[in-house]
Amino acid sequence: MAHSIELIFDENTDTVIGEQWAALTEAGLPSQGNIRSTSNRPHVTLVAADAIDPAIDSTLVAMTDVVGMSVNIGALLIFRGRRATAARLVVPSLPLLHLHAAVYRTAALHMTGEPLQHVTPGSWTPHVTLARRLEPGHIAEVAAALNNSPDTFTATVAGLRRWNGDSREEFHLLPRA
């Protein structure tokens, strides 16, 4: 399984996204809220690869300016594929793009294999996943289920974590606020 470096949010942001996950579940749709794991929380994947060496942690913990960073959560996105993924856009501000590039450069020194293509600078679409494995007919239902959710809002980054998909463990590199 993939390893990743991710932004995590403060409790207020987790609540807003969690309410959207719950709205999808209540509508009988797939939802990230249905994942029953203590590590399941709203996040933005900065980098993902086959493996990321834990030695990266000592460099990432120095990126303390990430804690408290504001990001704007925007429109509903649909990533098409055999099955679709619903997400909320994280508006790609210059500070966020600079952070992504810095984390990517650092991670490149600690990756096994190539990074996943969708996380390379210039190809990355920052987002918070709401639901995976959506059937084509679900798209309108997702929009309807989220109709009472805020169209946009400002989120606060609380920390940075490294996810080990092989062991299914999270390592908090910068604390949650």
Longest dimension (CA), the chain: 45
Provide the pLDDT confidence category of residue 146 given band limits of 50, 70 and 90. very high
Provide the pLDDT confidence category of residue 36 given band limits of 50, 70 and 90. confident
Query: Residue length, the chain?
Result: 177
**Cβ pair 47, 107 in contact under 8 A:** yes
Partners of 134 in the β-ladder: 84
The mean pLDDT of the chain is: 93
When pLDDT is averaged across residues 88-100 and rounded to a whole number, the result is: 97
* CATH superfamily placement of domain 3-164: Cyclic phosphodiesterase (3.90.1140.10)
**Tokens at residue 21, please?**
């996950």
pTM of the model: 0.93
Q: Give pLDDT, residue 123.
A: 93
What is the bridge-based pairing of β-strands 153-164 and 3-9?
antiparallel
Domain ranges of the chain: 3-164
H-type alpha helices, 67-160 = 94-108, 138-145
Q: Give pLDDT, residue 76.
A: 96
